[in-house]
Amino acid sequence: MPVPILMPALSPTMEEGTLAKWLVKEGDTVSSGDVIAEIETDKATMEVEAVDEGTIGKILIEEGSEGVKVNETIAVLLEEGESADDIDEASMKGGAASGGGDKAEKKEEEPKEEPKKEEAAAATPSTAPATPSKDAPKHNGRVHASPLAKRMAKNEGIELTALKGSGPHGRIVKRDIEKAMKDGTGKAGAAAPAAAGKAYQPPAAGIDERLYPADSYEAIKNDGMRKTIAKRLSQSFNGEVPHFPLNIDIDLDTLLEARERINAMSPPKGEEGFYKVSVNDFVIKASAMALKKVPAANATYTDDAILRHKHADVGVAVAIDGGLITPIIWKAETKGLLQISAEVRDLAGRARQKKLKPEEYMGGTFAVSNLGMFGIKSFSSIVSQPHGAIMSVGAAEERAVVRNGQIVIANQMTVTLTCDHRVVDGAVGAEYLSVFKKMIEEPTSMLL
């Protein structure tokens, strides 16, 4: 019996993803473990492996398709001795519709008697721009079309009731939508988005054209990452996480001298073992050591208990195309500056290529966001659960400061600790910053 290949859940929180690329085509033979496709989640691009051996009989979801639900059938695998003729509706659906809607949808797609003319007329919106085709199959008043055809029709503003299906039993399939796009038939009244991956013009219903005329902007479609960032940070900022900022100025003269001496010991660039330690590497190390000194700050809030973590797993915010991601330096308090520096470079590089694994960016106990390289003096980040706090690091710069009644020039930076007030109180946050400040101003204290 043909085996459905389902959209996998690549992380515990994944609900849908983009089928970025097929690495096989219909008719290809695959073995268990062969990589057959690439899936884009909200954070990374990951490979999908075949779990059985056989022949790719039919690809149901085209590459580039967005919003593909977890457990939706994306292709059908034929076992030995089977052919494309053995693929039926049941194998293509695979019983994998999410939630309890599978049985209902199957019911809706079972062949029924043709509706009476009065019922058909009632099922067709009076505003439809085209007369429904007599050949478009309907079951329980619904047009019979593949999931991909429905998605394409919605994106392109095409009325399925106006089309004639060329698939099995008159089912509307991808090629019917492509033909309608080419011929310009079945178009709805409003302008529709362009194909996936391209800039599109939103419908007038979503934009007040009195403020923004249609030809005055280019709208870039939100990808999964941007939607997830918006959802989670909105939840945090709008009251789910009651947060407050604490900021402090820190002298960097001693640290910069130590950094210069450490980097001077590196082999020449291009030779094996070359390294270059950054101020941010010191910040990550010091933040982890301070979390161990002030364990109340290394915590996560839950409804039942406050979790005090045994290790300082520090997330490092990395800007990538379309958003940001926070890969984690696990057990950062146990690692030296060179190891931290190497891990940050590796994680940041793979993050920008969307090649991180879920376990490399999910979780953590604390986060660091550094915008100093852009000249930002100070800023407050939004706490991202499950972290109890996030540290925002500003630029290192020369400032005029007063010492012993004299104005002197010192290298300083401003850091801001944003705390989840449910778990990190003001006194705890202040204690943490005090310990962190001492470690940055005297780096050798991290050896104690």
Query: Which sequence positions are flagged as catalytic?
Result: 421
314: part of which helix (H) or strand (E)? strand 314-316
Q: Locate 396 and state its tokens.
A: 């290192």
State the DSSP code for 298. Answer: S
Four-CA torsion 334, 338, 341, 342, nearest 10 degrees: -100
142-143 and 406-420 beta bridge pairing: unpaired
Residue 54: C-alpha distances to residues 30, 75, 91 (Å): 6, 12, 15
Q: Locate 270 and state its tokens.
A: 């291009």
Strand partners for 390: 367, 418
- Vertex 46: Cα angle to 42 and 52 (nearest 5): 130
Q: Locate 432 and state its tokens.
A: 């943490």
Q: Are 243 and 421 in contact (CB under 8 A)?
A: yes
Residue 389: C-alpha distances to residues 131, 306, 324, 366, 394 (Å): 59, 14, 17, 6, 17
Extended beta strands in 129-219, E state: 138-139, 142-143
**Residue 374, number of CB atoms within 10 A of its CB:** 9
Residues 6+ apart with CB under 8 A from 377: 394, 395, 397, 414
C-alpha–C-alpha distance, residues 122 and 442, integer Å: 78
C-alpha–C-alpha distance, residues 448 and 286, integer Å: 12
State the DSSP code for 137. Answer: -
312, burial (CB in 10 Å: exposed 0-12, middle 13-18, buried 19+) = buried
Q: What are phi and psi of 377, to 5 degrees?
A: -75, -45
Number of H helices, E strands in the chain: 10, 21
Four-CA torsion 175, 178, 182, 188, nearest 10 degrees: 120
